[in-house]
A and B are shown apart, each in its own frame.
Chain A
Amino acid sequence: MDGIHDLGGMSGFGAVEIEPDEPRFHEPWEARAFALNSLGIRRLGAYNVHEYRHAVERIDPAHYLAASYYERWFTAVATLLVEKGVVTLAELEGRAGGRFPLSRPAAEVKPGALVPASASRFCAGERVRVRDRHPAGHTRAPRYVRGKCGVVVRVSRAFELPDLAGHALPAHQETTYHVEFAAAELWRDAAEGRASVVVDLWESYLEPAR
């Protein structure tokens, strides 16, 4: 989805402020929220990590930007446990004593929604283009590289395709590639000199650039 989570390259944000000696968790509830996700994935097996990431992406955009990292984290966990029928929203609202915001529903994605564009694998040094797709569901191809050309700098390992796994569909393993894009290819007149971005992309996201 072309969601609020896909922030790379957006303008209008201010300074980045580093907190000296930042603790792992600022509040006790953050640690509990952290651990509840492990419970959901590992212990209950209620959902997988791709579904978790997508549930974060599905948070209402205004809520997404206003929430802290662990509030987003927690909202995704609660959403999935409601969607999977482990708990109900009414139960949560009753216990919390107020409104309990969850993520928006996922789009319907069909098995076989994404197949590789090319039968051949890519090699290191090869020029590739990111397919200019705008799926309604989960994907890990950031908007800022879609339609852009880059060079494969490393053929990485094979991993489950998130576009399917993120919707609890059977997902095949697919080779991933580290692809380097020159800043000028991505940002045109706004590009800085001697800069590039390397993005980790599944084979299905790519097509040959010849």
Chain B
Amino acid sequence: MTDTLEVKVWRGDSTGGRLVTYQVPQQPSQTILDVVTWIQREQDPGLSYRFSCRVGMCGSCAMMVNGIPRWTCRTHVQKVVQGNRLTIEPMRNMPVIKDLACNMDEFFSKWKLAEGQFQGSKTRLDAVEQLLPDSPKRVAANAAIECINCGICYAACDVVNWNSEYLGPAALNRAWSLVNDERDCNQQTRLKAVASDAGCHNCHSHQNCATYCPNELNPTASIAGLKRLASMAFLKGKI
């Protein structure tokens, strides 16, 4: 282990920017977020970035590290460093606000476009719905439900890169977990939304989302499920 890391950090805003090199002392068990925080505290207080929980729950600290989207609070330097070099950039496929902080408006707007909000039909006066934990729908929903909205899959997705209107893996994965929620009463509208021109059928199954998802979810499988359901609904004339 060398003593010093050579860290290139992207500095700039929506009008453009460049990589600036910093020398950062290497520490045992150091994370990428530790490196960025050290730069801000010790070398350049003007560096902007986003983080919150530091334990992999909130999904706010994702950045590109050596060209790959990662949750920086849970990414150890030792696992990703190349020689003693690191390159840290803002997330791909999202407009930059400043330095390493991106604008995630579009990312979250697409969750709404994919009808990613639960819609129930019961009131507080109704009995609580009984859901069997091992029912096929509940198992399918479980597989997709642990998303922390970090945007890593969205940054990794080539289809989003080529087609800015594409809803993207996170929004479609969310839709899949709701499609399998037996309490939800908005299924037809949701299926129509995810099968739209910018929806699930545009996925090429490259599986970048599944490869880089820090929670090891498989949005590609969720999207394949949506394709299947949307196709069946179309053939039955329901959407």
Asked if A and B are interacting partners, one says no
B residues contacting A by CB (< 8 A) are none
